[in-house]
Amino acid sequence: MTMSDEIETDSRTRLAGLVRLVLFMVMQGLAVILVGFAALFLSFEPVWSAAGQPAAFLKASDARSGSLLLKTEDGFADASRLGIDVDLTVSGPTVRARVTQIFRNPTQNWVEAVYVYPLPSGGAVDTLKMVIGDRVVVGDIKERQQAKAIYEHAKQNGQKAALTEQERPNIFTNSVANIGPGETVLVQIEYQEPVQQTGNEFSLRVPMVVAPRYNPVPVVQSVDFKADGGGWGAVKSDSVPDRERISSEVLDPATNTPVNPTTITVHLQAGFPLGEVKSHHHPIQTEKADASTSIIRLAEGAVPANRDFELSWKPAAETAPSVGLFREHVGDADYLLAFVTPPSVEQAQQKPPAREVIFVIDNSGSMGGVSIIQAKASLIYALGRLQPGDRFNVIRFDHTMDVLFPTPVPADAAHLGQATSFVGALQANGGTEMVPAMRAALSDSSNDANYVRQVVFLTDGAIGNEQQLFETISALRGRSRVFMVGIGSAPNTYLMTRAAELGRGTFTHIGSVEQVEERMRGLFSKLENPAVTNLTARFFEATADITPAAIPDVYRDEPLVLAAKLDKLAGSVEIKGRIGDRPWIVTLPLANAAEGKGLSKLWARRKIADAEVARTTQQISPEDADKAILALALGHQLVTRLTSLVAVDKTPSRPEGEPLRLSDLPINLPAGWDFARVFGERPQLPAPPTKRRADNGAAKVQVATLKRVQPAVVQAPATVMLPKTATDAELKLIAGSILLMLSLVLFVYKRRQLFMR
């Protein structure tokens, strides 16, 4: 080697060493920065738990059914309940319930109280009568805001008052103002509900206990609003925190009788010959008052109110659809209720008709996640249920559309196999153009009368142009029946129900994969056994306002209820239809209608429901709908979204000091209740002043701070489910950059090695 070479090699080595050092430093620096970033984004501390935060929203707190909760300084006190009586009258498809309860205020204060009663579904309260101390209070229906104003005014004045409002469709709350110390409160409410029917069995249920699995349970909370008027506060959940501290000098008649003794009487006028009558949780005794009425009482007299009372009854078997007819005269109009029950015996002699079923499945992006799984499972189940003689086709749509076969094909193994694999391969993606799919499904090219044509539509209904869909169905339906299957936790039920009505089919909701088989089986028993179709009703000699306006087909396990308001009860009603392919006509002379109760209210309730539907489908404006609902509610005295019952002290004039007499009561005490025992026993307290005097220091005045108690239904999901709102973008970004750094480091080291060699 020459000298220059040596010198060059030396400088090269030194340079290499320097570069190596610098690179090493840079790598160190970058690694530190990376670790720093990671520490910033990754949180290794335990996640903040919600326990530290005040629960700003509702929390469950149980209340007995029909509890009177007294707001006191120390929290909520349960007023002692001394007795309950439930009297039910079943007239055909309606049940009228009268529930009477007595409470006593065991505190030493004037209180405002809240009374919550859960309603069976479809129930409506229309009567409220109370006796508070010795004041009589009877409710009137008023428009909601007006009712509230009247109640607040009376409360401020120290008058006894009560306000009944519909908070939720299944719960009504009753606020009672100015209850004196030691006073007795007698509450009687009346409500009306339709009889529940599944298949051949009719039933009713009286909620008596807190048992979330049986019934909607009223949840009553006390809310303490912060003094700063922020409008948001903490929730007290425990209803009776210090019962021991409330000294009770009141003689409690309940110590001599069973706790919450409840008597139940049912007057059962089913309207058809009764088969089996059964009580599910209590022994009963039945007696026949006359040929069509049975009276059912509890076998043990008074029972403790610890279980719901459930009664069911069945008709004696019939071979043709039985039609029930009930009438009621209210005001200047007659109300009629026609009740059509599908035959309990199948037309087994006839071969079930061959069907042509078009399945339409929505695979748009909004069905992504669980919904598409449920839809696919439902459809594959449905394909498995087809008979060899049936024909079918499958349409899938998002913002595009695919029809599996050009025309409906016989349901044989080959075609079913093709369809099953087609459905199995579906992915949820794209927009939702429902109208072209509906149009394709309804286009009936063969028009073969030998086949019953059915369209089964599986979707979550997430569209904005519902009106267009309704118009398409109405216009193009032809002889097809449209069955809507609503998929997912929040399908557009208004769309579904209305579409099913217009399509003369039914609506089935499938909310989870577990429900698929059971609900689809139910749907198929309807699809495979059409009971009565093409129903029309005509009144002779009377002009009638019928609801529902377009009578739906009657499927298995579903009753048809027709309510009508007539100008006179004369002539007859003719109901026509088809059973399978046999025409069926039944004419009912109205004179033979049985006397019913609450039919006008049932009719009004349905008209209100019609108005709500028309409002949602934008056939009428919200203002017009509200006007119609208000008119019906006020005319028929129903508590609704827009009306409430308000009652202010209506005591008949009585000389000062004279006690309340039985004849003053606006209600009949239930059988077995002793007026003297209820009202005669007074606590050893100084006579409570008849009106609360706000500035009297002697009586402790408790200003009710309870503004609005928010009950919620525990059983139905009243709270909103919040979607998953976190992406893994950050995680991926960091992981990606770490890996990139790592590979960069490796590259550099490799080059260094090469460089070294």
Partner 1 sequence: MNRILPLLLTLLGLILFGQGAYIHAKALLAQVLLERAFNTTIATGRPTKPWSWADTWPVARIEVKRLHARVIVLSGSSGQALAFGPGHVELTPNAGERGVAVYSAHRDTHFAFLKDVGVGDEIDIVRNDGRAFRYRADATSVARFDASGIDPLADGHELVLSTCWPFDALTPGADRYLLHATMIEPGS
List residues near partner 1 by CB under 8 A.
Answer: 41-43, 47-48, 50, 53-59, 168, 230-232, 364-369, 398-399, 430-432, 462, 464, 490, 708, 710, 712, 718-744, 746-747, 750
Minimum gap (Å) between residue 398 Cβ and partner 1: 7
Q: What is the DSSP string of 362-384?
A: E-SGGGTTHHHHHHHHHHHHHHH
Least separation in angstroms between CB 465 and partner 1:
8
CB of 560 to partner 1, least distance (A): 29
Report d(CA 194, CA 603) in Å as an integer: 11
Shortest CB 192 distance to partner 1, Å: 22
User: Tokens 């035959």, residue?
Assistant: 343
**CB of 140: closest distance to partner 1 in angstroms?**
22
Instruction: Specify the residue, 255 or 719, whose C-beta has the smaller distance to partner 1.
Output: 719
Residue 373 vs 665, nearer CB to partner 1: 373
Please identify, using beta-carbon distances, which residue of 520 and 630 lies nearer to partner 1.
Answer: 630
Identity at 305, one-letter amino acid code: A
Walk across the sheet containing 594-595 and list its strands.
544-547, 560-566, 333-341, 322-330, 594-595
* 115 touches 182 (CB < 8 A): no
Q: Of all residues in the chain, what percent are helix, strand and coil, respectively (each to 5)? A: 25, 35, 40
* Closest C-alpha among 200, 197, 176, 174 to residue 119: 174
Considering the complex, what minimum distance in angstroms separates the CB of residue 232 from partner 1? 4
Q: Which is nearer to partner 1, 136 or 495 (CB)?
A: 495
Q: Is the Cβ–Cβ distance between 109 and 700 less than 8 Å? A: yes
**CB nearer partner 1, residue 291 or residue 729:** 729
170 versus 312: smaller Cβ distance to partner 1:
170
Cα–Cα distance between 343 and 326 in angstroms, integer?
Answer: 20
Determine contact, residues 282/309, Cβ cutoff 8 Å.
Answer: yes
In angstroms, what is the C-alpha Rg of the chain? 35
Give the Cα separation of 536 and 552 in Å (integer). Answer: 9
Closest CA to 453 of 528, 530, 379, 357: 357
State the minimum distance, in angstroms, from the CB of residue 693 to partner 1.
32
- 55 exposed, middle or buried (CB, 10 Å; 0-12, 13-18, 19+)? exposed
Minimum separation from the CB atom of position 438 to partner 1 (A): 17
Q: Shortest approach of partner 1 to residue 488 CB, angstroms? A: 9
- Residue 103 DSSP label: E
Minimum distance from residue 744 beta carbon to partner 1 (Å): 8
- State the minimum distance, in angstroms, from the CB of residue 727 to partner 1: 5
- For the CB of residue 608, give the shortest distance to partner 1 in the complex, in Å: 17
Nearer of residues 24 and 747 to partner 1, judged by Cβ = 747
Q: For partner 1, give the closer residue by CB, 323 or 395.
A: 395
What whole-number distance in Å separates Cα of residue 110 and Cα of residue 667?
Answer: 25
Strand order in the sheet with 530-540: 554-555, 530-540, 572-579, 582-589
Q: Among residues 432 and 480, whose Cβ is nearest to partner 1?
A: 432
Residue closer to partner 1 (CB basis): 41 or 540: 41
Task: State the minimum distance, in angstroms, from the CB of residue 492 to partner 1.
Answer: 8
Give the distance from CA 367 to its chain's centroid: 23
Residue nearer to partner 1 on the CB measure, 676 or 726:
726
In whole angstroms, the minimum distance from the beta carbon of 431 to partner 1 comes to 4
Q: What are phi and psi of 138, to 5 degrees?
A: -125, 135
How far apart are the C-alpha atoms of 70 and 108, rounded to whole Å?
11
Nearer to partner 1, 381 or 494 (CB): 494
| Residue closer to partner 1 (CB basis): 89 or 366 | 366
Q: How many CA atoms lie within 13 A of 167 on its CB side?
A: 23
Q: CA-to-CA distance for 155 and 162, rounded, in angstroms?
A: 9
Residue 43 DSSP label: -
Nearer to partner 1, 17 or 369 (CB): 369
Residue 438 sits at the vertex; the CA angle it makes with 434 and 440, to the nearest 5 degrees, is 120
Sign of the torsion angle spanned by Cα atoms 604, 606, 612, 615: negative
Cβ 757 to partner 1, closest distance in Å? 13
What are φ and ψ of residue 150, in 5° steps?
A: -65, -45
Give the orientation angle of helix 466-476 with respect to helix 434-442, to 10 degrees.
10
Calpha distance 522→520 (Å, rounded): 5
Contact 731, 2 (CB under 8 A): no
- DSSP assignment of 225-268, as one string? E-TT--S-EEEE--S-TTTTTS---S--GGGGS-SSEEEEEEEE
- What is the smallest separation between the CB atom of 421 and partner 1, expressed in angstroms? 25
Nearer to partner 1, 53 or 653 (CB): 53
Smallest distance from partner 1 to CB 40, Å: 8
Q: In the structure encoding, which two tokens stand for residue 167, read together?
A: 């908070």
Q: Which is nearer to partner 1, 255 or 725 (CB)?
A: 725
Nearest residue to 566 via CA among 600, 535, 594: 600
Looking only at the bridges linking them, the beta strands covering 309-315 and 274-279 are antiparallel
Nearer to partner 1, 403 or 490 (CB): 490
Its sign, for the CA torsion 721, 723, 724, 726, is negative
